[in-house]
Structure 1
């Protein structure tokens, strides 16, 4: 009897310990539904902003009149899968941009959320595939967050979908809470929530390992070197280069935050929010000092997922206390009313009733098949990709090898984990470009800037690049593996000049000029220029000889 009692006590203790561990784990991977809603709105806004910024170079980057016409795209990227590969005229590309913008807007307001999320991912994936030469870490992160979003209930709150569901279920009994132990009714904890949080964490952990290999980062001089690269700095960044002590402090603080990044998952509630705020603050500082596109904004949107229920509850109490007149409540009621009035596309689709599912008809079998498919989509698939991205991250820092089939899958959906932003070594050289073209009247002009060819360092190098994407493009053209792209660039410069000027250009030589200085004292360590390509505008398309 005593032995049986002892066994039952031991089992009870083990079960209690497992329950407590499960609850603690669930509390750390849970995401508040309001966080998902804010994240959804942020994603939609970023997608629209991304399209608007890309449209400034629509012809140059995404049409047959630009730096990567489709004949070059299909030659160099034979495995590319892009809807943009079907069109080459600027008007057709602009139409696809407009379609992508419409779906991004639908995502922001939460209309048919799951479907528009998947379509938005497909359209963004296609846009990336159209010109890989202009992509940066922010693009990769945005695509990955959108991928994981397909498995999350982004439309559960603050959405057209939520308003409709509330309207339909007003007279029905509420469903019982199915949240795991340790998770509030306002949160969910699933494989997908765990995966999207780990995705953000992997970016920092992987980048930290890369930075640990750098003398500049470990020595505290990395940010100072970065600010010396004038093609990157703008706004406040132009005034920080001389503040060497402050830049060393920023370097140390960033390394410390990277080391502390696992706490983003280990902490909960307000402590997690405080740590997340430090990361957000650093990224917002990045946004007003260096030109890296939308990367800081994408990261800030991703951090909304880490804001947990106690913080949202406190925020709602503050808003309620400030809304003494009730104007915000009335404004919200009007929005919900308008959301319920939005026409429901797909309302014609059949609705299976409980009696339909209970019998042995084809409808019942179809419903069972759909249920199995839903489990596969919401559980098995995200779990498989979670394993793959963890393996890919370990492989990128030399801690594991990714099997070839896994690499092929990750490559197919652009989810390889290689977060080498300013690592192992930071950018330490100022680079600018001159395209010296000889015109048919014998004169020489810089085809990039429309002025006389001048190799002197500009006072503000960042202004020589139209956008951050152009800077990224030139950095990739400079790469040793992209010789063909130098011909594509030169061909574009010739064609674009001849379309817009009466005096045609006969040949062009694209130069890179550079200067590297020592942080703090401004001593020039190296300077000069060299030719990337000499191109005959009337010659063959590719001239790498």
Structure 2
């Protein structure tokens, strides 16, 4: 009798697990397409500031990277050279890998290459990253262990002799789904540690941050009670996020749909880069079969044939069986190790587990938590030319302390905003000096009269949702440009005070 009870309990546990961590292969196909598209967008958006962020002529030369992060950071592919040509080649390679992932050509290899290139790029300049970048690389990691190319892919259409597989489950799907739930659950806990979200003031404070707020955010901010209601609704969703794996069927699909709607709202209200798109992509595996039945109804015949990955087929023919067995034996321990690391990482974010101090900002899931930033503002780089003219070296324009009419336009991109705002705290002197050197060189290359010196100033506006935001100037340093006049030399000297 006891043996039967144990067997039945084991069977019930397996069924419970299967129902909650089983992912439709069509959802994985949608995830693959989304990841490939996002990676392509990421490459294109980063390419606008390729020289500024990833070369020795930019704001973080390899010498500064070594000083701030340490020698191991120089072992990445993107840090092998500080020249523009290497970055162009690597960006092009990342674009090709992303395109291969999007169409599902040699999907696992494309996923691996995309992950390696993305991780190398992020290590090359970790000071322009946000939580979406962290989530993106983790989605790519878990994607290595699930059949992203099983449906709607080149791999699928070229190999049609395998047994149909409708869904998959295992440690990899636990990691894929669990990572997303961890993002929301940790963010909920951090938000609940303050009173901004519970009181309903948080979203009003976010909408008062003009360097974040765009489009519909400006329209929603003055509507009475609406920011509070939207903030409470989002907080309630975050608190309920464990139900993404606790629920099944239509209930799970409805909850995932609410999260998607929330992130779609972010796209038209706050300027946070690709974070909302990455989050929406991460939610796709939670949608159950009935959703994909409707989506697949519009897929043309012949586009979606069952297959095992063509990459697997090629691997069988080229890799010895003993090596494949050894690699297969490492899969389970590796996934268990990564799952454990994920738990420890999130526990450290909440302060439950200790974490070592680091100069590199590892991304946590604390977006606008426990409260939104209390300071708005923009940067000015007052400089003096050899002719005695005062200019703004950051805006490459005559010096002006007037508030920009559209504050978000004071930053060339969300990554520039992230990099600049991080200069306000901590021991950032090496990076401030490198930025000053970049500004000196950029100005001197394009102007007849070079710069003698340049300063860094943040014009801060403490947020006041119901009143005028006061201004104060935070001086971050003044630097001589004389040592930055040589081509390729981004070093500057601080001006004595």
Aligned partners of 1:392 and 1:417 also within 8 Å: no
Q: Distance in 1 between matches of 2:330 and 2:200?
A: 47
1:123 matched to 2:87? The reply is no
**For 1:90-135, what per-residue CA distance to the aligned partner results, in whole angstroms no more than 9, with x for missing partners?**
2321111001100111111111111121111110011001111111
Aligned partners of 1:510 and 1:534 also within 8 Å: yes
Which of residues 251, 257, 266 in structure 1 aligns to 2:237?
A: 257
Which of residues 368, 392, 409 in structure 1 aligns to 2:345?
A: 392
- TM-superposed CA distance for 1:418, in Å, is 2.2
Q: Which residue of 1 aligns with 2:142?
A: 148
Q: Distance in 2 between matches of 1:376 and 1:443?
A: 65
**For 1:278-322, what per-residue CA distance to the aligned partner results, in whole angstroms no more than 9, with x for missing partners?**
1111111111111111000000011111112232224335x38xx
Could you say what secondary structure the match of 2:221 adopts? coil
Q: Which moved more, 1:246-255 or 1:232-241?
A: 232-241
Q: Which residue of 2 aligns with 1:533?
A: 477
1:329 matched to 2:301? The reply is yes
**For 1:439-498, what per-residue CA distance to the aligned partner results, in whole angstroms no more than 9, with x for missing partners?**
111111111112222222222111111111111111111222212111111111000000
Q: Distance in 1 between matches of 2:419 and 2:243?
A: 36
Q: Which moved more, 1:73-82 or 1:53-62?
A: 73-82
Which of residues 308, 317, 337 in structure 2 aligns to 1:351?
A: 317
Q: Which residue of 2 aligns with 1:419?
A: 365
- TM-superposed CA distance for 1:542, in Å, is 5.1
Mapping for residues 88-487 of structure 1, pairs under 5 Å: 88-166=82-160, 169=161, 175=163, 185-317=165-297, 319=298, 328-329=300-301, 332=303, 351=317, 366-377=320-331, 379-401=332-354, 418-487=364-433
Aligned partners of 1:151 and 1:192 also within 8 Å: yes
Q: TM-score, normalised by structure 1?
A: 0.84
- TM-superposed CA distance for 1:11, in Å, is 3.0
Gaps of at least 5 residues in structure 1 are 1-7, 178-184, 321-327, 353-362
Could you say what secondary structure the match of 1:430 adopts? strand
**For 1:146-186, what per-residue CA distance to the aligned partner results, in whole angstroms no more than 9, with x for missing partners?**
111111111111111122221xx2xxxx55x8xxxxxxx51
Q: Which residue of 2 aligns with 1:36?
A: 28
Which of residues 62, 74, 89 in structure 2 aligns to 1:70?
A: 62
Could you say what secondary structure the match of 1:513 adopts? strand
**For 1:375-424, what per-residue CA distance to the aligned partner results, in whole angstroms no more than 9, with x for missing partners?**
312x221121001111221122122346x7xx99xx99x9x672111112
Q: Distance in 1 between matches of 2:84 and 2:323?
A: 44
**For 1:258-287, what per-residue CA distance to the aligned partner results, in whole angstroms no more than 9, with x for missing partners?**
100000001112111110111111111111
Q: Distance in 2 between matches of 1:82 and 1:244?
A: 51
Aligned partners of 2:109 and 2:311 also within 8 Å: no
Q: Distance in 2 between matches of 1:157 and 1:17?
A: 34
Aligned length: 486
- TM-superposed CA distance for 1:139, in Å, is 0.7
CA RMSD of aligned residues (A): 2.6
**For 1:319-338, what per-residue CA distance to the aligned partner results, in whole angstroms no more than 9, with x for missing partners?**
38xxxxxxx336x38xx7xx
- TM-superposed CA distance for 1:24, in Å, is 1.2
Could you say what secondary structure the match of 2:265 adopts? helix
Aligned partners of 1:186 and 1:309 also within 8 Å: no
Residues 141/347 of structure 1: CA separation in 2 closer, same or farther (3 Å cut): closer
Aligned partners of 2:107 and 2:311 also within 8 Å: no
Q: Distance in 2 between matches of 1:123 and 1:455?
A: 40
Q: Distance in 2 between matches of 1:282 and 1:159?
A: 29
Residues 225/348 of structure 1: CA separation in 2 closer, same or farther (3 Å cut): closer
Q: Which moved more, 1:389-398 or 1:460-469?
A: 389-398
- TM-superposed CA distance for 1:145, in Å, is 0.8
Aligned partners of 1:237 and 1:288 also within 8 Å: yes
1:496 matched to 2:450? The reply is no
- TM-superposed CA distance for 1:18, in Å, is 2.3
Q: TM-score, normalised by structure 2?
A: 0.92
Could you say what secondary structure the match of 2:472 adopts? strand
Aligned partners of 2:436 and 2:492 also within 8 Å: no
1:61 matched to 2:14? The reply is no
- Which structure would you say has the larger Rg? 1
- TM-superposed CA distance for 1:349, in Å, is 7.2
**For 1:214-247, what per-residue CA distance to the aligned partner results, in whole angstroms no more than 9, with x for missing partners?**
1211211011101111111112222222124111
Q: Which moved more, 1:81-90 or 1:40-49?
A: 81-90
Q: Distance in 1 between matches of 2:114 and 2:92?
A: 12
Q: Distance in 1 between matches of 2:483 and 2:198?
A: 49
Gaps of at least 5 residues in structure 2 are 485-490
Could you say what secondary structure the match of 1:84 adopts? helix
